[in-house]
């Protein structure tokens, strides 16, 4: 039966060498729900325990890689069905831990199960190639290269609070299928969900030491983990500030980062306004805007801006606001610090001349949908990632000015373009300094088989099932010489 070994008296264990353990540090971390309810305690593991975990993971990885690909795929597929079997339990954890509305919580679990199966299938397509070379420089000699992909070794996966299941497994599954071992370090908020996921992978047949889970305060073990000599690669989703710190500490380790975003929606004067409103509502306010790919700037032609703002704000007024247990569209933010930050951006917008369209009074960590028009470059909201249900509207006179607004950002994750002129959309897309451009649709990470890339301070590397597998492997060539 899953979940019976992972805790005792509501104190959760950490995972090392295939065993659920209490830390010898005798230190624990109290966990609270977004409504300040006690959720349990996490282990705050020591550096010595990290050393032991990584040493064992290094050894286990070699045995795991020697297991045939189809056997690794079978284990992952079994894990995916265990996720679906336990989807209600996992969704309930997401509701309590991170305040995710029930429908979104269930969707995250089911989507993740499909991601695992697709990863297993993609692993079976991980083929090499043979490259032949004719004689060179007049010498009677030819060569043949046998090219394959080899695992990197021990992958450190660091996941955020907002999608603890999906953004953990999107790192774990590609690493495992390609023959790596994994140490997952989840955000404290969301860690219980990840603990349950790891137990399901063990139940599916992952051998001891191949999947490990380290819990603890990042201030105490974070730097030690990312700089550890036994870590061969780091996959991280989180803030740009932390990502830059990891990059400095990691040395020569390969990195796969998804960091902050300030995703813009560019609405041209010929756009389908009703479609743009619908997509922007979901893009900006779903899960209270706590997503890397949330719509964080709406850049709209002044010729249609009044009409758009009226329809957008009227639709925002209909959104259900309240508790995640009630499947509210907008629920409380993850903590007081996040809510205080939204307050700072709102106060600054007032100060610098932005026009309030709607901004419901804050109730602790709960914000209603908040919209400011005529946001200018003096406003922090123009530049900074808000991670909440707060939307700036920026008007432009010419398409050139609109493109300038999109590119005037330290971030480069995604951008949306709304227009009926598809040829124009592609021309504009080629000029946008982002990883992905959505045409007539909101910015969005899924589907997981698509490439998910970024530029500037939004990260490095490309994710997505096939691309993550490639990032977590290296090219290896064996050259046969013919005289």
| β-bridge partners, 372 | 356, 392
Gap between the terminal Cα atoms of the chain: 61
Q: Is the distance from CB of 334 to CB of 99 less than 8 angstroms?
A: yes
Strand pairing of 129-133 and 142-151? antiparallel
From first to last of its 483 residues, the chain has per-residue pLDDT tens of 578 889 999 999 999 999 999 999 999 999 999 888 999 999 999 999 999 999 999 999 999 999 999 999 999 999 999 999 999 999 999 999 999 999 999 999 999 999 999 999 999 999 899 998 876 665 667 889 999 999 999 999 999 999 999 999 999 999 999 999 999 999 999 999 999 999 999 999 999 999 999 999 999 999 999 999 999 999 999 999 999 999 999 999 999 999 999 999 999 999 999 999 999 999 999 999 999 999 999 999 999 999 999 999 999 999 999 999 999 999 999 999 999 999 999 999 999 999 999 997 789 999 999 999 999 999 999 999 999 999 999 999 999 999 999 999 999 999 999 999 999 999 999 999 999 999 999 999 989 999 999 999 999 999 999 999 999 999 999 999 987
Q: Which residues pair with 370 in a beta bridge?
A: 359, 390
**Rounded distance between C-alpha atoms, residue 478 and residue 52, angstroms:** 34
| Cβ neighbour number for residue 407 with a 10 Å cutoff | 15
**Closest C-alpha to 23, from 209, 213, 211:** 213
Q: Determine which one of 258, 279, 385, 470 is catalytic.
A: 258
Pair of tokens at residue 85: 């079997």
Alpha carbon distance 114, 449 (integer Å): 10
Q: What are the helix and strand counts (H, E) for the chain?
A: 15, 26
CA dist 155 and 34 (Å) reads: 31
Q: Which tokens hold the place of 183? A: 């140490």
SS3 state of residue 386: coil
Q: Which of 257, 256, 263, 237 is nearest to 444 (CA)?
A: 263
Per CATH, domain 264-457 is 3.30.470.20: no
In angstroms, the Cα distances linking 137 to 72, 130, 131, 483 are: 45, 22, 18, 14
Relative to beta strand 19-21, strand 14-16 is antiparallel
Q: Give pLDDT, residue 59.
A: 98
What is the pLDDT, as a whole number, of residue 140? 60
pLDDT of residue 3: 81
Residue 324 DSSP class: G
Q: DSSP assignment of 138-162, as one string?
A: T-S-EEEEEEEEEE-SEEEEEE-SS
Q: How far apart are CA 452 and CA 468, in angstroms?
A: 9
What radius of gyration, in Å, describes the C-alpha atoms of the chain? 24
Instruction: Tell me how far apart the 2 most distant CA atoms of the chain are, in Å.
Output: 81
Residue 9, Ramachandran bin (φ over 0: left; ψ between -120 and 50: alpha; else beta) = left
Q: Mark out the alpha helices in 145-205 (DSSP H runs).
A: 166-177, 191-204
pLDDT at 483: 72
Query: How far is 263 from 292, CA to CA, in rounded Å?
Result: 8
Give the burial string for 71-106 (b: 16+ CB within 10 Å, else e): ebbebbbbbbebbeebbeebbebbbbbbbbbbebbb
Q: Give the fold, CATH level 3, of 7-259+461-478.
A: Aldehyde Dehydrogenase; Chain A, domain 1 (3.40.605)
**What is the DSSP code string of 344-374?**
HHHHHHHHTTPEEEEEPPPBTTB---EEEES
Of 292, 379, 415, 454, which one is the catalytic site residue? 292
Residue written as token pair 């697709």: 118
pLDDT tens-place string over residues 106-143 = 999 999 999 999 999 999 999 899 998 876 665 667 88
Annotation says 52 is catalytic: no
Rounded distance, CA 87 to CA 92, Å? 8
Show the CA angle centred on residue 472, arms to residues 466 and 474, nearest 5°: 100
DSSP string, 272-316: -HHHHHHHHHHHHHGGGG-STTS--EEEEEHHHHHHHHHHHHHHH
| Interatomic CA distance for residues 176 and 211, integer angstroms | 8
Instruction: Identify whether the C-beta of residue 294 lies closer than 8 Å to the C-beta of residue 262.
Output: no
- Residues written for the chain: 483
Does this model's pTM top 0.85? My answer is yes
Q: Domain ranges in the chain?
A: 7-259+461-478, 264-457
292 among known catalytic residues: yes
């Amino acid at each position: 039966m899953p979940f019976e070994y992972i805790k005792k008296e509501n104190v959760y264990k950490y995972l090392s060498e295939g065993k659920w353990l209490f830390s010898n540090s005798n230190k624990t971390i109290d966990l609270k729900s977004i409504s300040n309810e006690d959720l349990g305690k996490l282990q705050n593991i020591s550096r010595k325990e990290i050393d032991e975990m990584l040493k064992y993971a290094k050894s286990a990885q070699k045995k795991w890689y020697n297991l045939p690909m189809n056997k690794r795929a079978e284990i992952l597929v079994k894990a995916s069905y265990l996720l679906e079997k336990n989807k209600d339990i996992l969704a309930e954890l997401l509701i309590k831990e991170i305040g995710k509305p029930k429908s979104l919580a269930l969707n995250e679990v089911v989507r993740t199960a499909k991601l695992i199966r697709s990863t297993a299938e993609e692993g079976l397509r991980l083929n090499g190639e043979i490259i032949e070379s004719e004689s060179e420089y007049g010498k009677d000699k030819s060569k043949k290269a046998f090219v394959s992909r080899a695992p990197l070794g021990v992958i450190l996966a660091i996941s955020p609070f907002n999608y603890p299941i999906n953004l953990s497994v999107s790192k774990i599954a590609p690493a495992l299928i390609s023959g790596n071992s994994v140490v997952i370090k989840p955000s404290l908020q969301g860690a219980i969900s990840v603990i349950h996921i790891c137990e399901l992978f063990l139940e599916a047949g992952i051998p001891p030491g191949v999947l490990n889970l380290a819990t603890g305060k990042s201030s105490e073990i974070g730097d030690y983990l990312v700089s550890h000599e036994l870590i061969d690669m780091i996959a991280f989703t989180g803030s740009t500030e932390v990502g830059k710190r990891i990059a400095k500490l990691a040395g020569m380790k390969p990195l796969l980062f998804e960091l902050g975003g300030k995703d813009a929606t560019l609405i041209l004067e010929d756009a389908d306004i009703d479609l743009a409103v619908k997509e922007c509502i979901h893009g900006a306010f779903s899960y209270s805007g706590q997503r890397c790919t949330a719509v964080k700037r709406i850049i709209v032609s002044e010729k249609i801006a009044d009409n758009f703002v009226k329809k957008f704000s009227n639709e925002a007024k209909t959104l259900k606001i309240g508790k995640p247990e009630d499947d509210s569209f907008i629920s409380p933010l993850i903590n007081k610090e996040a809510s205080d930050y939204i307050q700072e951006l709102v106060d600054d917008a007032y100060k610098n001349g932005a026009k309030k369209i709607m901004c419901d009074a804050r109730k602790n960590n709960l914000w209603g949908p908040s919209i400011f028009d005529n946001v200018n470059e003096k406003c922090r909201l123009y530049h900074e990632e808000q991670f909440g249900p707060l939307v700036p509207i920026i008007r432009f006179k010419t398409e050139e000015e609109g493109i300038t607004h999109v590119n005037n950002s330290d971030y480069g994750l995604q951008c949306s373009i709304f227009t009926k002129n598809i040829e124009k959309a592609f021309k504009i897309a080629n000029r946008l300094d982002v990883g992905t451009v959505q045409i007539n649709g909101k910015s969005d990470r899924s589907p997981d088989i698509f490439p998910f890339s970024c530029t500037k301070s939004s990260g490095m590397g490309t994710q997505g099932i096939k691309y993550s597998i490639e990032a977590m492997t290296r090219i290896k060539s064996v050259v046969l010489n013919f005289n």
